[in-house]
Amino acid sequence: MPTNRDFYLNMAQQGLRMPIGTDLVLAEKPGHKAIKNDGRRLGEVVAESARRWQTPLAMPLMDLMIEKDWLVGALGVPHEEIATYHFLGHVPEKMPEAPATVRARATSDAIQYIAQNSDLLPCGMSIGPFSLMTKLIADPITPVFMAGLGEDDREVQAVQAALNLGMQVIVRNVSAQIAAGAKAIVVCEPAANTTYFSPNQFAQDGAVFERFVMNPNRQLKALLDQHGVDLIWHDCGELADDMVRQFATLNPVMMSFGSSRLLWEDAQLVPKDIVLFGNLPTKKFYSDDVMPLGQVQAKAQELLKRMKATGHPFILGSECDVLSVPGSEQRIKQKVAAFLNA
């Protein structure tokens, strides 16, 4: 079973506030692109980020291309074509044996650095199975919808095959991070949202959501439980209440949602032994027009007040990873500081 859930509940009780902000620290470094591929130097950045934001959680970069790069590269697709590559027709049943990519190895090596050289909690990172599938199929929306109507044509079968194939690389990547010393894995499933599963369809029959989202993630959760590793669930997509309820059945230690969710309402949907994290609109921090400093402070104060009233364990944080935007770096950091000190 996972490690002591009280660790996360205590962080919430003590009033921890934190961004997922490793990218902000990385962008300060000369040659930061090369650091992504150097496990030790990346580990040093992760540790520096955790200490700067005064959190015991050593959060890696939220790089959701790692698994696709590894999988599609193993199938022989040239590197420059991987980002836009989609399966057309046939989807292979099995991922070939292939060594981890440089980025995947660097992520695991950074976790190992944290585990061996700090008292921080080493966290790993993985894209969720459904979200990876959407990167492998050119038009996944239509077949997912048709599956909800009971269809099982070639396109629906391709989605299922891509899910199965994607799980293979996710298991490899997560297993490597666990072997490196990860004590928690952040599973990022932003595509599991109302774009793919309408609330009306979900209310009538949640079987397709169970098939394509929950079932593979339950398999991933079983892998984590087998190794005593905690699940931190992240989904910053537009969600229906029933989706939040379903995600909670995975029994993560923390749940992180985008700013479209009202966390004080989600507190009624989620058991009290699951910490809610977030969900300030940090994607907008780069712009003073759409998110001025005063509004950051006001939203932070509102979240703190409303979540305290619910009595639900809560960590004030970012809705997603806080990316460094060229030309706006200092303003973004000022806004992060504003919510940390609200």
Structure confidence by residue, pLDDT tens digits, 212-228: 999 999 999 999 999 99
Exposed, middle or buried by CB within 10 Å (0-12, 13-18, 19+), for 305? exposed
Residue 170's CB is within 10 A of a number of other CB atoms, namely: 25
Could you give the dihedral angle defined by the CA atoms of residues 145, 151, 153 and 158, in that order, rounded to the nearest 10 degrees?
40
pLDDT at 56 over 90: yes
Query: What is the average per-residue pLDDT within 324-335?
Result: 96
Residue 28's CB is within 10 A of a number of other CB atoms, namely: 12
Q: What is the pLDDT of residue 149?
A: 84
Give Cα 64 distance to the centre of its chain. 8
Q: What is the pLDDT of residue 4?
A: 82
CA distance 124 to 221: 14
- For residue 11 the two structure tokens come to 């962080």
**Residue 14, C-beta contacts closer than 8 angstroms, at least 6 positions apart:** none
With CA atoms as reference, report the closest residue to 169 among 67, 63, 65, 62. Answer: 67
Q: Is 339 helix (H, G, I), strand (E, B) or coil?
A: helix
Q: What is the pLDDT of residue 37?
A: 97
**DSSP-assigned beta bridge partners for residue 231:** 185
pLDDT in tens, 164-216: 999 999 999 999 999 999 999 999 999 999 999 988 877 777 899 999 999 99
User: In which band, very low, low, confident or very high, does the pLDDT at 1 lie, cut at 50, 70 and 90?
Assistant: very low
For 225, the enclosing helix (H) or strand (E) is: helix 215-226
Query: What is the average per-residue pLDDT within 243-272?
Result: 98
Report the interhelical angle of 129-136 vs 215-226 (nearest 10°): 130
**Residue 267, C-beta contacts closer than 8 angstroms, at least 6 positions apart:** 276, 307, 310, 312, 314
**Residue 263, C-beta contacts closer than 8 angstroms, at least 6 positions apart:** 257, 276, 278, 279, 303, 306, 307, 314
pLDDT in tens, 81-101: 999 999 988 999 999 999 999
- Global pTM reads 0.96
Average pLDDT, the chain: 96
Q: What is the pLDDT of residue 3?
A: 59
Query: What is the average per-residue pLDDT within 259-265?
Result: 97
DSSP 189-212: -TTSSTTTS-HHHHHH--HHHIII
pLDDT in tens, 146-155: 988 888 999 9
**Residue 251, C-beta contacts closer than 8 angstroms, at least 6 positions apart:** 221, 231, 274
Sheet of 184-188, strand order: 17-20, 314-321, 275-280, 254-257, 230-235, 184-188, 121-127, 57-58
DSSP 106-173: HHHHHHHHHHHH-SSEEEEEEE-HHHHHHHHBS--HHHHHHHHTT---HHHHHHHHHHHHHHHHHHHH
Percent of the chain with pLDDT over 90: 93
- For residue 243 the two structure tokens come to 């989706």
User: In which band, very low, low, confident or very high, does the pLDDT at 2 lie, cut at 50, 70 and 90?
Assistant: very low
